[in-house]
Structure 1
Amino acid sequence: MISLDNPRDSAERVVSELLRVPPAADELGRVFTANGYLLHLVGGSVRDALLGRPASAVSGAVPADLDFATDARPERVLEITRGWAEATWEAGIAFGTVGLARHGVRFEITTYRSEAYDRKSRNPAVTYGDSLEADLSRRDFTVNAMAVSVPGHDFVDLFGGMADLARGVLRTPASPEASFDDDPLRILRAARFEAALGLTPVPELVAAMRSRADRLAVVSPERIRDELRKLMSAPDPVAGLERLVEVGIADIVLPEVSAMRMEIDEHHQHKDVYAHTMTVLRQAMTLEEPGEPDEVLRWAALLHDIGKPRTRRHMTGGRVSFHHHEVVGRDMARRRLAALHFPKDVTDAVCRLVYLHLRFHGYGAGEWTDAAVRRYVHDAGPQLSRLHKLVRSDCTTRNRRKAAALSRTYDSLEERIAELAAREEIAAIRPELSGDDIMVLLGLPPSRLVGQARSHMLEFRFEHGIVGREAAEAELFRWAREHEVPVPGDAPVPGELTPRRG
């Protein structure tokens, strides 16, 4: 890693660090040079080389996308790389970007350009430029406005990006207002860089984030979603989220999070929900596998209490209740994630966790029946491991005795789950009679009645475990008689049940 304690000394050594550029990048540089064009490695790969990030493509550790800037127009890029590139893609050519691949390395080559959003448009208007300096001056932040020529490896830092890395600050090459007007998404990106790199925005940048917040209205939900997902997967998402709340951006992109900043009642009968949520998020992160951010768990931790502001009720004695906030919160989370066009699998997983995060507390101090354990496991489904982590993270009490008691109770629940799992298949609990079985036994066509019967048999499975085919059929016929569904004349009547083990 290059030391940034002395930026001047670091500048002299940066070239040797950048010699770790994959050989294919230098090959590409020679192709451009031979055709009379300039090619510079730009953006995050240069920044990461300065930070000595081991997973950086520049370090050669892992093949990844490399970003380049050139004075060649996109059509010319395609022409001069034909035969050199093993694959090309032109999805971004309208914005001046051509994609190439060679030797397992992906290259994105963008013609010198500037972008500007019309006040009423979601798409930027791209204008090509003719100089590297102008191109770098329009980039989002100084730490991304550094460049290295290939194959020569001449280091270009016109706006003090390396010094900003050394000082741990985030600035824009041009005025922050002009930068955000060029691309309002940079407002979110500033918070993401604070979360990912620990760079603190300078005061004028913070002021511009606040004053330009309304410009985010022209940015597509997909681009906002992608930035938020990156922020939430960063090493310190809380820092980025708190910045968004502070400058009012969360009011636009995650208003449910801002709304959790409720006033605490004068008797302090409930916690500051917003502060509690940030603590839960931090605690959930400590339970992740090392080096593997769990996006679903983090979003569930962030959104688990968003139903509280809408369900708060003041009661006698200064007490406050939030009845059914998990149900309201689940529905709110689904609407917000849908508005941001999140993938369905992520949305479903997060919403399931939000809905179930209080279930554990509904069973008191450990009086868990086998039926309750089966329901808990069944309802959590594939999110059971994350639910364990979320519930444990949700304990933020400063009362050590209470926290220890809650931890012991949850330990007990996990032991009960393990005990039941050793005796029966509880990871994917199903009724012992399938829908097809029910239709055959009762002579029913596919219908809502079959679904009702199957739901009953699932509840029966929760309560009694595995009882065997004969006892299950007897229970089905009992249910049918109770609901006036005709049953075969020789159908058995259930006796006392003895659950089977195994």
Structure 2
Amino acid sequence: MTPGGSSPDPQHRQLSEAQRRAVSELLRVSPVADDLARRFEAAGFTLALVGGSVRDALLGRLGNDLDFTTDARPEDVLRIVRPWADAVWEVGIAFGTVGCRKTAGGGADAQDFLIEVTTYRSESYDRTSRKPEVSYGDTIEEDLVRRDFTVNAMAVALPAKQFIDPHGGLEDLAARVLRTPGTPEQSFDDDPLRMMRAARFAAQLGFEVAPEVQTAMTDMAERIEIVSAERVRDELNKLLLSAHPRAGLKLLVETGLAAHVLPELPKLRLERDEHHRHKDVYEHSLTVLEQAIALEQQGPDLTLRLAALLHDIGKPRTRRFEKDGRVSFHHHEVVGAKMTKARMAKLKYPNDLIKDVSRLVELHLRFHGYGTGEWTDSAVRRYVRDAGPLLDRLHKLTRSDCTTRNKRKAGALQRAYDGLEDRIEVLQEQEELDAIRPDLDGNEIMKLLGIAPGPAVGQAYKHLLELRLEHGPMEHEAAVAALREWWAVQEQS
């Protein structure tokens, strides 16, 4: 309580709690951080914990990835850290950053710290270039003013533990608001990717974006096109893998940034019929994403999250108003799969990820294609075969794709899918569905038919596979007889 019996100001109480958390976090990393700082001090340089590391310390979530800033030039940093670190890398040295790994403690208490030391710098984009121009500064104040947001523009000078906060980052952290150290226009002009970082921090940290920052993002959205696809992709991934990606995605759409980096998303903002009676596909997709996240069991799954977000992107292109007033989206899953491949390729995603996400988009309606009737063994086998290693993700995506408020309908869909999963489990035990293949392999086919490798072997294999899917495993003699019967027909035609 304060004098006079009044309660302390809530914001001041939050700041005090943040400071206590920071002290606890900094004490944990001090043996490594202070040791490194003393080495810089002995060499005539300064060192400070900076940016996200200070922010996370104040939030009580500092990990073992530590960011430092220094007045030492990169070649001096290398000279200092090489005898000290267990491993050193120079991947970012062109941008003034030296990375290293240091193991502290021993035995069960050993911890690996991943450290980045960056020379005081300022960077900006030429309007015709995708690469930042880097210049070094001489003071930490110069360095902090070029940081993206005030909550990332705080530092702790080491080993003295002096807190440096020239732009009110601590107050903004307590208020959970994102502001820029200078004007947002200057900040985003220096590095347009910061506009996407604002959306990412909104998703990761649950922070609000200050009105003037959101206005600048809207006015300058087109500027994001100067940033390389790889950097945009990486920032989008961080947003999608955050705890609450909806907030970040909505900010991208509302500011117009999504129209430049993921234009298929804002295009989903269409009503499902001309009478405006139903939720739009955009809101549905965000809900499916959230429901898919709730089904994750082993941490964030980028493949599943991308598929959930993009599963309906083919709807705008396939929307048709039927004569009876209904709206149809025939084959939107096939169109959507092609669109997913194209967009992910433009964002430079790995081919394997593109293949998996687009396949899930293509398959997301397969469950509904069988109607509400009893699944035959053949249908179950084909479902499992088509999903392949994506079966578990397809289960999650299909379950997530139910956003109806009609509890009876939602319950019926869930029971139907429960039934399908039970059928899959039973058949897997009986038939090893995960490795469905014909009862005769290619070598046996060639030997039995007396033919050499060629198209006929593939055709025979495909025929036997269809029999396997339709009827289940066959005895060897039955498979041989079926093969000879098929071959007799081929020879006659």
TM-score, length basis structure 1: 0.91
8 Å contact kept, 1:269–1:320: no
8 Å contact kept, 1:116–1:182: yes
- Return the offset for 1:452: 2.4
> Does 2:382 correspond to 1:384?
no
Counterpart of 2:67 in structure 1 is 67
Cα distance in 2, alignment partners of residues 213 and 145 from structure 1 = 23
Cα distance in 2, alignment partners of residues 301 and 8 from structure 1 = 38
Counterpart of 1:440 in structure 2 is 447
- Return the offset for 1:264: 4.2
Deviation string for 1:198-219 (max 9, x for gaps)? Answer: 1111111011111111111121
8 Å contact kept, 1:308–1:322: yes
Q: Letter of the aligned partner of 2:125 in structure 1?
A: Y
> Does 2:126 correspond to 1:108?
no
Cα distance in 2, alignment partners of residues 10 and 286 from structure 1 = 31
- Return the offset for 1:447: 2.6
Equivalent in 286, 310, 316 of residue 303 of structure 1: 310
Cα distance in 2, alignment partners of residues 476 and 73 from structure 1 = 74
> Does 2:319 correspond to 1:315?
no
Counterpart of 1:483 in structure 2 is 490
Counterpart of 2:163 in structure 1 is 155
Equivalent in 217, 227, 232 of residue 225 of structure 2: 217
- Return the offset for 1:441: 2.5
Aligned with 1:149: secondary structure?
Answer: strand
Q: Letter of the aligned partner of 1:226 in structure 2?
A: D
Q: Letter of the aligned partner of 1:368 in structure 2?
A: W
Change (3 A) 1:140 1:415: same
* Aligned counterparts, 1:410-449, within 5 A: 410-449=417-456
- Return the offset for 1:385: 1.3
- Return the offset for 1:5: 4.9
8 Å contact kept, 2:311–2:336: yes
Aligned with 1:318: secondary structure?
Answer: coil
Deviation string for 1:223-245 (max 9, x for gaps)? Answer: 11111111000011011111111
- Return the offset for 1:17: 4.1
Q: Letter of the aligned partner of 2:409 in structure 1?
A: K
- Return the offset for 1:65: 2.3
Between 1:383-392 and 1:193-202, the stretch displaced more is 383-392
> Does 2:48 correspond to 1:48?
no
Between 1:17-26 and 1:464-473, the stretch displaced more is 17-26
- Return the offset for 1:309: 0.6
Deviation string for 1:129-149 (max 9, x for gaps)? Answer: 000011000001111111112
8 Å contact kept, 1:148–1:154: yes
8 Å contact kept, 2:272–2:327: no
Counterpart of 2:466 in structure 1 is 459
* Aligned counterparts, 1:99-498, within 5 A: 99-103=99-103, 104-268=112-276, 271-289=279-297, 292-484=299-491
- Return the offset for 1:269: 6.9
Change (3 A) 1:264 1:352: closer
Note the aligned Cα RMSD (angstroms): 1.8
Change (3 A) 1:439 1:268: farther
Cα distance in 2, alignment partners of residues 230 and 388 from structure 1 = 24
8 Å contact kept, 1:7–1:163: no
Cα distance in 1, alignment partners of residues 164 and 389 from structure 2 = 50
Cα distance in 1, alignment partners of residues 293 and 323 from structure 2 = 37
8 Å contact kept, 2:69–2:120: yes
Cα distance in 2, alignment partners of residues 201 and 31 from structure 1 = 39
Change (3 A) 1:10 1:368: closer
Cα distance in 2, alignment partners of residues 388 and 424 from structure 1 = 20
Change (3 A) 1:23 1:4: farther
Deviation string for 1:338-392 (max 9, x for gaps)? Answer: 1111122322221121111111111111321100000111111111111111111
Q: Letter of the aligned partner of 2:90 in structure 1?
A: E
Aligned with 1:317: secondary structure?
Answer: coil
Aligned with 2:182: secondary structure?
Answer: coil
Q: Letter of the aligned partner of 2:102 in structure 1?
A: R
Counterpart of 2:26 in structure 1 is 18
8 Å contact kept, 2:19–2:58: no
Deviation string for 1:238-261 (max 9, x for gaps)? Answer: 111111111111111111111111
> How many matched pairs?
475
Q: Letter of the aligned partner of 1:427 in structure 2?
A: D
- Return the offset for 1:111: 0.4
Aligned with 1:483: secondary structure?
Answer: helix
Q: Letter of the aligned partner of 2:140 in structure 1?
A: L
Q: Letter of the aligned partner of 1:67 in structure 2?
A: D
Q: Letter of the aligned partner of 2:180 in structure 1?
A: T
Deviation string for 1:75-133 (max 9, x for gaps)? Answer: 11112233222221111111111112221322111100001111111110000000001
8 Å contact kept, 1:146–1:158: yes
Q: Letter of the aligned partner of 2:129 in structure 1?
A: S
Counterpart of 2:43 in structure 1 is 35
Cα distance in 2, alignment partners of residues 369 and 409 from structure 1 = 13
TM-score, length basis structure 2: 0.93
Cα distance in 2, alignment partners of residues 268 and 447 from structure 1 = 57
Q: Letter of the aligned partner of 1:49 in structure 2?
A: A
Q: Letter of the aligned partner of 1:360 in structure 2?
A: F
> Does 2:16 correspond to 1:6?
no
Query: Tell me, which stretches of 5 or more residues in structure 1 are unaligned?
Result: 58-63, 487-502
Cα distance in 1, alignment partners of residues 237 and 125 from structure 2 = 23
Cα distance in 2, alignment partners of residues 271 and 324 from structure 1 = 21
